[in-house]
Amino acid sequence: MQDLSVNKPDYPDWRSKGEVFTYLRYYWRDLVLFALFYASMWIMQLVNRPFGTVRSLEIPFDSKIPLLPWTVVIYNSWVIIIFFVGLFYLLRDRTLFRRYMLTMILGQLMADITFPFFQTRVPVPYETVFAGEDIWSKLLSITYRVDNPYCGFPSIHVIVCTLSAFFIWKSKEAPAWMKVLVTLYFTAVALTTVTTKQHVVLDIPGGLLYAFVAIPLGLPLLRFVERKFYPRPFR
């Protein structure tokens, strides 16, 4: 049998558009996985509505946390940053990229399954934000309009942020400054879940728990997906 791996492109030089294009065309399955991750984010919207008993996990400490509308920029920027982090893995360590994407999809699906059975409602300050005239309040009001407050526990933002911080330290290719910067950034994103009043405090440890459960479960999932959908030359 012909060994197709001899035609397998090596990791490309980022400065060469031709090499990057050839590489991505060869590993198109990874681009599909990338797209599946972003598509999976919208599953939450299907269950982001009241189901049966709607609980409140608000604690007294939540009232001590100030509403900071400007942090909505950080809160919503994670989608873009994950694209660049994922692209870095894809062009430097395909196995890490696949484990990262699959574990994040798994973490989100675990949360999506939880929401209908353990529905929580976040006390969103609609009147305060909608009455604001500053640009930050207007941006936050857009987030409130497109995101219902019924999928609080666990926080998917925190799940994704925790996994992103975890996997950057697994990368042998990422320099130390990048690991520190990515960790600090995603920590900031996790904190904005409460400063934007999109979540309550207890949603944060819930997100941490789900992320740390998803990490070991992602390994057998990676092996299964690679065996099923990635023939040997494409690994």
Residue 104 near residue 34 (C-beta atoms within 8 A):
no
- Chain centroid to Cα 150, Å, comes to 19
What 8-state DSSP symbol labels residue 151? B
The pLDDT of residue 51 is 80
More confident of the two residues 47 and 167:
167
The pLDDT of residue 228 is 86
- Residues 217-224: contacts with CB under 8 Å, at least 24 apart: 217/103, 217/106, 218/99, 218/102, 218/103, 218/106, 219/99, 221/102, 221/103, 221/106, 222/95, 222/98, 222/99, 222/102, 222/103
Average pLDDT over the chain reads 91
* Residue % of the chain over a pLDDT of 90: 75
Residue 100 near residue 89 (C-beta atoms within 8 A):
yes
Whether 15 shows a pLDDT value over 80: the answer reads no
Tokens of 223: 């092996």
Q: Where are the domains of the chain?
A: 13-234
The pLDDT of residue 1 is 37
User: What pLDDT digit, counting tens, does each position of 23-76 carry?
Assistant: 888 889 999 999 999 999 989 988 888 888 899 999 999 999 999 999 999 999
Q: What is the mean pLDDT of residues 106-112?
A: 96
User: What pLDDT digit, counting tens, does each position of 115-156 carry?
Assistant: 999 999 999 999 999 998 999 999 999 999 998 889 899 999
The pLDDT of residue 167 is 96
The pLDDT of residue 201 is 97
Tokens of 164: 């992103």
Helix (H) or strand (E) holding 120: strand 119-120
CA pair distance 7, 13, nearest whole angstrom: 17
- pLDDT confidence band for 235 (50 / 70 / 90): low
